[in-house]
Amino acid sequence: MSFPSSLLTYVFFFDLVNKDFCEVDRIFCFQTFYNVIINELTSTAETRHGINPSTEEALPPVPLSTQEDVDKAVAAAQAAYPAWRDLTYDERAKYILRYADAIEANLAGIQDILMKEAGKPVQNATQELGFALMHLRQTAGLRLPEDVVEDSEERTATVRYVPIGVGVGIVPWNYPALLGLGKLDAAVLTGNTYIWKPSPYAPYTALKLGELAAKIFPPGVVQVLSGDESLGPLFTAHPSIGKISFTGSSATGKKVMAACAKTLKRVTLELGGNDASIVCDDVDVKQVVQKIGPFSFLHAGQICMEIKRLYVHEKIYDEFLAAMVEVVKTFKVGGAGDAEAFLGPVQNSMQYEKVQDMFSEISKQNWKVALGGDVCSTGKEKGYFFPPTIIDNPPENSRIVVEEPFGPIMPVLKWKDEEDVIRRANNTDMGLGASVWSSDVERAKKIATRLEAGSVWVNSHFELSPSVPFGGHKWSGIGMDWGIVGMKGWCNTQSMWVRKKF
């Protein structure tokens, strides 16, 4: 199966693994994992470990951070902040670029742990790290200009964007590298210090990336702490933290916001999605399914911004569904070690149970299955695998339409009337992404502008750039990461008034 061109653009970074980077720092051991506090690798009295979702084998121990570790890291971040803030943008950008080079020099080892902990087949891990490197490099080139609102003989009024102080990135398990680095670069470029809290399900890549950061950034500027589910609340409650940038589920996002309210922390929330995709009757079915297939099942459906409700015009519905099944059934299911695999496992046992529960609805609700459906059909004895599954036109109020499954199971639904399909697409608390497919681009744009989502695409889905903001409406989030908008999220706005004469 081939990837859409928008995804292939990231893949070339993988070739750079073989470049000679003798001048940059290297990590030699990918078997031991430490917290990174004040640029020191520290252990904790108790440890925990993750599970390789492809094999269900235990991964190495990782720290189980306590309040004491959090306090130490926050104090170090506070101490490092003034000097870091006072550097110029260009000076801070140099650190980020050097960090990107160091990651690239260690890419093979980092990719290996990412594949193991996240259950990513090689092409998927390559894309994530390639995009993360591009993110660091592009973001390092962005600047937040001051806006001069008034400049008269008497005075000037300028709007400036100043860093907040100590920021924390709380990250989920589906993109453990990209989502942490995509917060780190904007945070430190704008002059904040940054603490990275990875998911307990996928802390390994983040801890190694922290170890590399310790070789490059001044002490206290970038730190990484792993722990269990009690660690996040220690950060949201901490009075000396100014900003929490959170990516995860809407349910946890609401808790984060409530906790941050107590100390009036700034928050950015990147939350769940239930993206609708509307296919009009004038599309070239064969071409479009080649794109919609991967956009629906990439990373086994565990992407926030993935097609999760596919509305196909009734005139082409049967032809489309048949073509979609033909494409999706070529997607090989396999573990991190399977070079041919397109779909890896679901990342953890908690998510496996949630997705299994959704699969169990098939027989309970008598949903018509166009492809897959039988959990045992992957033939795997170990690992959290599911077959890619397409449900044929289930009722609009069924769980598979209303909920975000976050696994490789999706509904295809029929539509007839344009107003009605727009209403159905918007009839959700979620508002992350949405797309429209049509040969008539102007018609598709008109529909797209009426969709309630943070990103809307015409003849695409899940198209991203480090310079373009990314975030959700409604329960899919507050604020946005990435690009200039994302950088402003790491700043307080400051109005500066200057009287030219007394």
Which residues here bind ligand NAD, judged by CB under 6 A?
170-174, 197, 199-200, 229, 232-233, 236, 247-249, 252, 255-256, 270-273, 304, 404, 406, 432, 472, 477
Task: Find the catalytic residue in 104, 117, 211, 270.
Answer: 270
- Residue 173 CB, shortest distance to ligand NAD, in Å, is 5
- Residue 110 CB, shortest distance to ligand NAD, in Å, is 19
In the chain, % helix, strand, coil (3-state, to 5) comes to 40, 20, 40
Q: Token match 């949903």: residue?
A: 367
Q: Which is nearer to ligand NAD, 79 or 257 (CB)?
A: 257
Q: Which is nearer to ligand NAD, 63 or 248 (CB)?
A: 248
- Residue 476 CB, shortest distance to ligand NAD, in Å, is 6
Task: Determine how many CB atoms are found less than 10 A away from the CB of residue 239.
Answer: 9
Task: Determine how many CB atoms are found less than 10 A away from the CB of residue 290.
Answer: 16
Residue whose C-beta lies closest to ligand NAD: 232
What burial class does residue 255 get, using C-beta atoms within 10 Å of its C-beta: 0-12 exposed, 13-18 middle, 19+ buried?
A: middle
Judge whether 270 counts as a catalytic residue.
Answer: yes
Largest CA distance in the chain: 81
String of b and e for 93-120 (b: at least 16 CB within 10 Å)?
A: bebbebbbbbbbbbbebbbbbbbbbbbb
Q: Which is nearer to ligand NAD, 105 or 358 (CB)?
A: 358
Q: Which is nearer to ligand NAD, 274 or 438 (CB)?
A: 274
Q: Token match 């794109």: residue?
A: 291
Where helices occur in 167-312 by DSSP H, the ranges are 178-189, 204-214, 231-237, 250-261, 285-297
- Residue 97 CB, shortest distance to ligand NAD, in Å, is 25
CB 378 within 8 A of CB 385: yes
Rounded CA separation 488/189 (Å): 11
CB 193 within 8 A of CB 86: no
- Residue 446 CB, shortest distance to ligand NAD, in Å, is 26
- Residue 239 CB, shortest distance to ligand NAD, in Å, is 16
Q: Which is nearer to ligand NAD, 140 or 168 (CB)?
A: 168
Residues labelled as active-site residues? 270
